[in-house]
Amino acid sequence: MAQLIGDSGKARIVAFIIDNLFACLLSFLVVGAIHSDNEFVSGASLCLTYLLYFFAFELSLGRTPGKFFQGLVVRDINGGRCNVVQILLRTLARILEANPILLGGIPAGIAIVASTRKQRIGDTLAGTVVISGQALSGKPVSDA
């Protein structure tokens, strides 16, 4: 099978916005529920919850809610489901390239536009792509 080229269109941008809103909201709710006076605990909880949002959804479902709403799915470069290491690499790369506190999604966006396979840095490191759910077979991709 030929290696896939990712989606770099409006759907991916909208999915990014949706997911960052959900992940940030969830992170703030967790920090509020913990209600710690320790700034380190609150900051660590915020960051871990944000990252776990992406890791848990992509590992279990192959996509986040934002990607689901936009008809996108994360796959390895050959079209198969991603493994734990691939999802972990994508998630950890998010710290620098898609961090809403640092530069937002600017580094990820630049990487996607500049790469031949439309991958952000995390995708390149992990050997993954974000594609339309219909790109593999002409019909929606099953996550089961």
Coil, helix or strand for 132? strand
The answer to whether residue 56 scores a pLDDT higher than 50 is: yes
Tally of domains within the chain? 1
User: Are 32 and 137 within 8 A, CB to CB?
Assistant: no
Residue 83 lies in a domain: yes
**What digits encode the pLDDT tens for the residues 63-102?**
999 999 999 999 999 889 999 999 999 999 988 887 767 7
SS3 content of the chain, % helix, strand, coil (to 5): 55, 5, 35
pLDDT at position 38, please? 94
Residue 5 lies in a domain: no
Structural domain that includes position 42: 10-132
Residue 94 lies in a domain: yes
Higher pLDDT, 50 or 144: 50
Write out the two tokens for 142.
């099953």
**What digits encode the pLDDT tens for the residues 121-138?**
999 999 999 998 876 665
pLDDT at position 144, please? 44
Q: What is the pTM of this model?
A: 0.85
Residue 16 lies in a domain: yes
